[in-house]
Amino acid sequence: MTNVQEEIKKPSGLNRKQKRSLEKNLMKLLPKSTISVSKKSKITEADIIKDVFSASMCQTSIEEMADKIDHSPDRVIANLNQLGIEKIEEVMIKNAEKVALQLRKTRRVRFAVAFDFTDVMYYGDEDNKFVVGTKPKNGTCWSFRFFVVNIVTEGVRFLLYACPLTKETNGAMTHVEAGIEILQRLKLNFYVLTMDKEFYSADVINYLQEKDFHLLMPAVQNSKFLREVEKIKFPEKLPVILMNWRVGQPFINETETTLVILEEKDRKTEEMHVFGYITNLPIEFYEKDVVVLSKLYSKRWGIETAFRVQDKFDIYTTSTKGNVRYFFFVISCLLYNLWVFINFFIQIPEFERGKFRIIIKVDKLKIFFTIFLLKNEVIKNQKIADLLLSAMEERQILWLFATFHLQ
C-alpha cells in the first residue's frame, strides 16, 4: 500500500456514517469567494480563489503561486486590490455562524472567549491609514493590526471574528462593541470574556457590565492600585476582594467593579509577586479559592496557540493595501478554523467529556483536505489530481494544494 493510499484511510476510527457527516459539514465550512471580476477579464473568480488558497496552504506568495499555475500575477493582484473591507468581514462572520451552528449541537453549552489584538509587523512607509503604531519588534514599531475574537475553550479554539485597525479606529472601545455584537449574533453561551490590559478602561468595563458579560482582566498596577497594596499587611490579609472598586475619572466616566488582589509564585523566578484581577464574575465562583481566577485567565493563552497555528497558513506578501492584508489574514483564519473543526469533529464525544487532544496536525490537514477535495470533485482535472497525489507521496507540500476549483 502506498503512502497516499494510507493517508486516504485517515483519520482513523471513523465509521462510514461519520465520514459522510464530516464531508457534508466540511462542504458547508468551505468559504465562498468575495471576489468579483469583469466578464471581459482574462482571469476568472475560480482562478483567483485557486491562487489564494494554494498560496495559503503552501505558505508562499500569490505571485509565486500564480506564476506556477500559469496565471498572470499582475491580474490576480489587481483584482485583490479591489476587495471591499465589509465584504471580507462578512465572509468571516458567515464562517463563525457555521461554526456556532455546529457547537450548538454539542452537549457542552458554555464557552470561554477572548478579545485580543495581533500584529503583522510592517517595514514600509507608515503613511497608510491601516498601518498603526505598536510595541517595537524586529526593528519596527509599525504594523497591520487586527482585533480578534477567539473561543479559548480547549478543543474548539475557533477564530470567530477579525477586523483591521486603522489610525482612526485604533482604540479598544470601538472593537469591543463590534466583538460583543458578533458574540450576541452567534447565540452561544459564553460564560467569561478574558482580555488583557490593553482593554483596561472605565468605558470598556462599564459597557461589558451593562451588557451582562462576565469579564476577567488583569488590573493595571497604577498608583491607586499600589496604594491599596501598601495598606495590606502581608501575608495574612491576602487574598483581598474589594467590591465597588472604582475605575476611571470621577464625575466623567467612573464605573464600579470588583478588584481581587492576590499573591502567587512566579514560575520563572520562584519569587512571590502581588497582582490583581478586575472581574464582575459572581463572587460565589471564586471567594473560597481565588486561584480559580488565574486558572480561568490561563485559558486565554490558547489564543497564542491559535495564532501560532494560524501562522502556518500565512500568505507571504509585501502589499501595502490594508484590504489585501485583511483578506489574507481572514483566509488564514478560515483555514485554521478548518483544522480546528476536523480535530473537533472526530472527537465530539471526548470533547463533551472534557477529554480532548490534537490528532490531526497541520501538515496532515493539508493532505487530508486535498484528498477531501479530490473525492468531492472540487478538484476536477485528473492530470492535476495525479500531480497532487504524487506530490503528497513525496511530501512536497509546496505543490500539495496547488490547484482546485470551489463549487
- Using CB atoms within 10 A of its CB, is residue 398 exposed (0-12), middle (13-18) or buried (19+)? middle
Answer whether residue 199 shows pLDDT above 60.
yes
CA distance linking residue 236 with residue 289, whole number of Å: 15
Give the confidence band of 393 by pLDDT, cuts at 50, 70, 90. Answer: very low
CA distance linking residue 73 with residue 379, whole number of Å: 21
Res 32: pLDDT? 57
Give the confidence band of 18 by pLDDT, cuts at 50, 70, 90. Answer: low
Answer whether residue 346 shows pLDDT above 80.
no
Answer whether residue 297 shows pLDDT above 80.
yes
Give the confidence band of 56 by pLDDT, cuts at 50, 70, 90. Answer: confident
Answer whether residue 389 shows pLDDT above 70.
no
Give the confidence band of 85 by pLDDT, cuts at 50, 70, 90. Answer: very high
Res 11: pLDDT? 43
DSSP letters, 107-175, are S--EEEEEEEEEEEEE-S-S-STTEEEEEEETTEEEEEEEEEEEE-STT---EEEEEE--SSS-SHHHH
Mean pLDDT confidence for 269-283: 90
Among left, alpha and beta (phi > 0; psi -120 to 50; other), residue 197 is: alpha
Res 154: pLDDT? 85
Give the confidence band of 281 by pLDDT, cuts at 50, 70, 90. Answer: very high
Closest C-alpha among 212, 154, 215 to residue 184: 212
Coil/strand/helix, residue 407: coil
* pTM of the entire predicted model: 0.84
CA distance linking residue 132 with residue 322, whole number of Å: 11
Give the confidence band of 36 by pLDDT, cuts at 50, 70, 90. Answer: low
Instruction: Name the DSSP letter for residue 180.
Output: H
The per-residue pLDDT for range 187-197, each reduced to its tens digit, is: 999 999 999 99
The per-residue pLDDT for range 88-134, each reduced to its tens digit, is: 999 899 999 988 988 888 877 789 999 999 999 999 889 999 999 99
Calculate the CA dihedral of residues 37, 43, 47, 51 and round it to 10 degrees: -100
Answer whether residue 383 shows pLDDT above 90.
no
Answer whether residue 171 shows pLDDT above 50.
yes
In the block, cell 459564553 appears at: 190
Res 272: pLDDT? 82
Domain 86-307 carries which CATH code?
A: 3.90.350.10
Least-confidence region, from 47-61, 261-275, 366-380: 366-380
Average pLDDT, the chain: 80
- E strands, 207-321, in order: 215-218, 240-247, 255-265, 272-279
Res 145: pLDDT? 96
CA distance linking residue 219 with residue 191, whole number of Å: 20
Whether the Cβ atoms of residue 83 and residue 62 lie closer than 8 Å to each other: no
Domain segments of the chain: what residues? 3-83+324-342+357-399, 86-307
Give the confidence band of 21 by pLDDT, cuts at 50, 70, 90. Answer: low
Give the confidence band of 402 by pLDDT, cuts at 50, 70, 90. Answer: very low
Answer whether residue 13 shows pLDDT above 60.
no
The percent of residues in the chain predicted with pLDDT above 90, rounded, is 41
Whether the Cβ atoms of residue 306 and residue 279 lie closer than 8 Å to each other: no
Res 391: pLDDT? 46
Res 113: pLDDT? 96
Least-confidence region, from 36-45, 122-131, 137-146, 191-200: 36-45
CA distance linking residue 327 with residue 52, whole number of Å: 10
CA distance linking residue 89 with residue 74, whole number of Å: 24
CA distance linking residue 125 with residue 371, whole number of Å: 42
Answer whether residue 404 shows pLDDT above 80.
no
Give the confidence band of 235 by pLDDT, cuts at 50, 70, 90. Answer: low
Calculate the CA dihedral of residues 289, 290, 296, 301 and round it to 10 degrees: -130
